[in-house]
Amino acid sequence: MTEFASRVGFSVTVIDDRPFFANKPRFPEAEKVICESFEKSFDLINLEKSDYIVIVTRGHRYDGVVLRKVLKYDLSYVGMIGSRRRVTAMKKELLEEGFPKEKLELVNAPIGIDINAITPDEIAISIIAQLINFKNKETMSKFGKNFAIPEFDKEVLKNASEKSPKPKACITILSSKGSVPRKAGAKMITYPDGMSIGTIGGGCSESSVLQKAREMMRKTAGERSSFIEHVDMTGDVAESEGMVCGELWRY
């Protein structure tokens, strides 16, 4: 699930109390992996209104531990895995403990959009789909379905403006043609060690540009430099290379 969440733009933090489970090699797409008890883990994260919490622990008891902590915060989304029977029983228990009914009604449980998911990957996709729906619904309700979401990422702009002890490259789409996932103005940041923030469309095309950007940083040894890369994504080229169509980058 962390892979899917990361690919659609979420910055993922994974928390579990098992060292063999909560480690970076197991979750390479996660920005942070925290190995700590569920109770103490909340002292290590700074939850904000914009955060999304997905509760999918290894047991119903631990789900309850996490949910009791989470209900103390004002968040954009809270979802918890579990059958309808177990969810109903837990909500009843929490009501008896004094948790507000209106807060419990905001918990998305059972979690995910109903797509008749069976396999773990299908369940993960149903959960990520619900996260995307919550992320975009406020904007759509304000501006309507015809609203064009600006091609910028706050996290990318923040990192682009901050000083860094190590080199970094800012990749920008200057112009695009045809149907593409990201339009002109979309940016992403990448570092020589392979860490990247944001996306310019994904696929083999993005991977190729990232590789060239990192090579440039190594060769220039921290000095300022830039160049324009043209990527042909039309016709047979796009089909054979697995690219989206018609984008132009500068970094």
**Segment 188-227, tens digit of pLDDT:** 888 887 788 888 877 777 888 888 888 888 877 667 777 7
What pLDDT does 112 receive? 92
112 torsion bin: left (phi>0), alpha (psi -120 to 50), beta (else):
left
Give the pLDDT confidence of 61-80 residue by residue, as tens digits: 899 999 999 999 999 899 99
Give the CA dihedral 105, 106, 112, 113, nearest 10 degrees.
80
DSSP 44: S
* pLDDT mean across residues, the chain: 81
Superfamily classification of domain 2-143: NAD(P)-binding Rossmann-like Domain (3.40.50.720)
Please tell me the least confidently modeled range out of 7-11, 39-43, 246-250: 246-250
Q: C-alpha angle with apex 31: 247 to 191, nearest 5 degrees?
A: 50
Q: Which has more confidence, 37 or 153?
A: 37
What pLDDT does 97 receive? 93
From 12, 64, 9, select the one nearest 38 (Cα to Cα): 64
What pLDDT does 238 receive? 47
What pLDDT does 151 receive? 59
Residues of the chain within CATH 3.40.50.720 domain(s) are 2-143
Give the CA dihedral 240, 241, 246, 249, nearest 10 degrees.
-160
State the pTM of this model. 0.57
